[in-house]
């Protein structure tokens, strides 16, 4: 009696497995697209504001690398710019003074010309004034050259300031996307190195079911097509989700090692990704099954 019951249960489980295999067209695991957020400058970590598992939003500050050196350089540059700006103000004042002297000389020159015509002044006096006007013009030109040189010096300082401010901005590490902190590699007080990862971030709102289909099934799978996705439920049944086919491999590969039997592992298959919105039930690494929808069939 007990033997018959065990045989019946075994046959039921076997039939259930066969039925499940017939329902699903491909099998695989869910994977998440993560990326490493690295520091862009080298220095001591003054702040590390996140921990593993924290949800973050795009633009949120994650860490601050030591900014003292850059800030001091900016202050030094600001003092240099102030000194040069003061020099520029002096040059402008000098040019205005020379222009006023020139106006005064021109008044005297015009008066002497009239006096020369009437015989009340000599040609020598006129020539002396002409010489002084030429000297003033040369002085104004030379002073304007100094002004141009100072303006170029200020331009260089402006570019240096822009460079330092860019370096300063890179001391503040912000998340380029919204997501979840999967791993944290450094803590406050430790040394950050440019290019060395600080955290690993992933957007868990959508995951990809990476599964494999045989060559004869490949023509039935098309990019953008909605498919049914099955995942294990707590009660042992299958929960149903859906999503579009987001990627199809253009080359065949041997069945991955997760396939149990040696015979299955030597088969050539094509990898397919299905983009599935995550309502909290899906975790990276979970197994999943794909089911193609037939014409008129609902998701």
Q: What structural domains does the chain harbor? A: 25-33+204-292 (2.40.30.170), 35-67+171-202 (2.40.50.100), 68-169 (1.10.287)
Give residue 128's pLDDT band: very low, low, confident or very high (50, 70, 90).
confident
Give the residue from 195, 188, 183, 166 showing the smallest Cα distance to 39.
Answer: 195
Residue 294 scores a pLDDT above 90: no
**Mean per-residue pLDDT, 103-132:** 83
Looking at residue 259, its pLDDT comes to 55
Rg (CA), the chain: 40
Give the residue from 223, 276, 279 showing the smallest Cα distance to 248.
Answer: 223
Residue 32 to residue 284: CA distance in whole angstroms: 6
**Mean per-residue pLDDT, 7-31:** 59
Looking at residue 295, its pLDDT comes to 64
**121 by DSSP, 3-state: which?**
coil
Of all residues in the chain, what percent carry a pLDDT higher than 70? 87
Residue 18 scores a pLDDT above 60: no
Q: Count Cβ atoms below 10 Å from residue 57 Cβ, excluding itself.
A: 9
pTM score, whole prediction: 0.63
**Mean per-residue pLDDT, 153-164:** 92
């Amino acid at each position: 009696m007990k033997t018959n019951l065990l045989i019946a249960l075994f046959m039921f489980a076997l039939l259930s497995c066969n039925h499940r295999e017939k329902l699903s067209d491909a099998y695989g695991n869910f994977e998440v697209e993560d990326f490493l957020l690295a520091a862009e400058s080298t220095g001591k970590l003054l702040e590390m504001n996140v921990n593993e598992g924290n949800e973050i939003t795009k633009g949120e500050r994650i860490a601050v690398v030591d900014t003292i050196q850059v800030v001091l350089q900016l202050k030094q540059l600001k003092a240099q710019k102030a000194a040069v700006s003061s020099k520029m103000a002096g040059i402008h004042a000098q040019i205005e003074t020379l222009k006023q002297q020139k106006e005064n000389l021109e008044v005297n020159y015009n008066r002497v010309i009239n006096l020369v015509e009437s015989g009340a002044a000599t040609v020598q006096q006129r020539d002396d004034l002409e010489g002084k006007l030429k000297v003033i013009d040369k002085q104004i030109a030379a002073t304007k050259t100094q002004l141009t040189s100072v303006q170029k010096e200020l331009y260089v300082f402006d570019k240096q300031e822009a460079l330092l401010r860019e370096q300063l901005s890179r001391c503040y590490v912000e998340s380029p996307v919204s997501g979840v902190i999967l791993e944290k590699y450094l803590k406050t007080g430790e040394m950050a190195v440019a290019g060395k990862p600080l955290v690993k971030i992933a957007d868990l709102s959508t995951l990809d079911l990476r599964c494999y289909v045989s060559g004869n099934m490949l023509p039935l799978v098309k990019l953008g097509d909605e498919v049914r996705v099955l995942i294990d439920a707590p009660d042992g049944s299958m929960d149903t989700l859906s999503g579009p086919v987001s990627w199809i491999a253009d080359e065949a590969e041997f069945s991955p090692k997760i396939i149990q039997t040696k015979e299955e592992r030597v088969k050539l298959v094509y990898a397919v990704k299905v983009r599935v919105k995550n309502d909290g039930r899906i975790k990276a690494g979970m197994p999943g099954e794909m089911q193609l929808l037939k014409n008129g069939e609902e998701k």
